[in-house]
Structure 1
């Protein structure tokens, strides 16, 4: 059995009442996959901010990047590909849109999420004075609604749930 099949079986094991009465299966799978990817990104963010960038400015010679933004940029490629894979193979696996088109659309929707995340992170850290990791967590919640709507109605449009 493929990894995606195992993940689907595991996720669907939790798709019981009262959840099944409230959420469609596809939405439930999206929430679980998105939640797993978010937790993965938080762990990567925490490790990157505290140990890789050591809470220090990143001086590239032509620009200096704050550690919270540098960490966000470093974590992005990891969560981009894990998120796309989970969405394509678990949550929206029956989309009639070709994989290359899905990847491009996913890139566009994630670009919007990155902008929202960046603005929120700058606001929470630099304007409100919150710590970087909780700020990243709050910024993530702001982007979740946008991300779901973009996935359902743009990236993986017309995907049927099996």
Structure 2
């Protein structure tokens, strides 16, 4: 399966080979599919599951009103977490010699930081600037994906140097 996916991704690489290395291209391909998974699941959650309606909850330690765009973000984060980790671990950052449990823990940290930034930026763009939620989410996803590449490469899936 891994070889077939890499063969498929690498098929599209030649036009880009002058500008970016194959490793970066593979990250863009897997990250793009993860981002697409997040955007599509966000759209489905916001429009079809939540019907763009806020939800009132009566649980201790939770806000009384949970906005639809915030809850859609939670749903889409869960949907894309596993997909992104599997693609990064088995297609992109295969040279990492860190244990899988350490990688998934670090990946979860990066996802949590991205989630916090995503939520703050989404609230600002939707509630402060009055942008449409799906368009805001797409813009935020692209921006945070660029930052994620460096975190994944140098933190989550780094290669331990042998002494």
TM-score if structure 1 supplies the norm length? Answer: 0.92
Superposed displacement of residue 124, structure 1: 0.8
CA contact (8 A) 1:113 1:146 kept: no
1:78 is displaced (CA, Å) by 1.3
- Render the CA deviation track for 1:99-135: whole Å, top value 9, x for unaligned: 1110011011111111111111011101110111001
Gap regions ≥5 residues in structure 1: none
Deviation of residue 31 (structure 1)? 0.5
Give the structure 2 partner of residue 10 of structure 1. 8
Residue in 2 aligned with 1:37?
A: 34
Aligned residues: 156
The alignment yields a C-alpha RMSD, in angstroms, of 1.3
| Runs of 4+ deviating beyond 6 Å | none
Deviations 1:75-104 (A, max 9, x none): 111100000000001111221111111001
- The whole-number CA distance in structure 1 between the counterparts of 2:6 and 2:156 is 20
1:21 to 6, 18, 30: 18
5+ long unaligned stretches in structure 2: none
1:83-162 counterparts in 2 under 5 A? 83-158=84-159
